[in-house]
């Protein structure tokens, strides 16, 4: 048997194993994001009920700093972590605005 074929077969098997692990992590991320958004919906409702603004710039700044440190400690690009947080926070604020608007009607 050709040794290159054995190497390819092992490489393909390892690729499948790695992709299975990635798929599991992706599923976990989706579940975690869903839980996060359930909590931020409650925050949005609380803010709307008490006339608080949808955005909290000082908290966002603290979160950026905190997540940049966590990213560095985890050997993840802090710029990526910040972009991910910015994307998430923008969606949270959009939802908070929608909740506030629905309370005003």
Cα–Cα dist 57/15, whole Å: 43
pLDDT for 19: 98
pTM of the model: 0.82
Burial 24-59 (b: 16+ CB within 10 A, else e): eeeeeeeeeeeeeeeebeebbeebbeeeeebebeee
Low-confidence ranges of the chain (pLDDT < 50): none
Cα–Cα dist 68/63, whole Å: 8
pLDDT for 87: 96
Contact (Cβ atoms closer than 8 angstroms) between residue 74 and residue 60: no
Q: Which two tokens stand for residue 73?
A: 């400690």
pLDDT for 4: 77
pLDDT for 7: 93
pLDDT for 1: 59
DSSP letter, residue 74? T
């Amino acid at each position: 048997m050709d040794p290159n074929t054995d190497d390819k077969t092992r490489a393909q098997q390892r690729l499948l194993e790695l992709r299975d692990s990635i798929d599991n992590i992706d599923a976990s991320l989706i579940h975690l994001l869903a839980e996060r958004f359930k909590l931020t919906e409650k925050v949005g409702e609380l803010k709307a009920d008490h006339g608080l603004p949808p955005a909290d710039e000082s908290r966002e700044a603290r979160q950026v700093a905190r997540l940049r440190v966590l990213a560095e400690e985890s050997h993840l690009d802090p710029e990526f972590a910040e972009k991910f947080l910015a994307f998430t926070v923008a969606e949270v604020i959009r939802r908070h605005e929608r909740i506030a608007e629905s309370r005003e009607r």
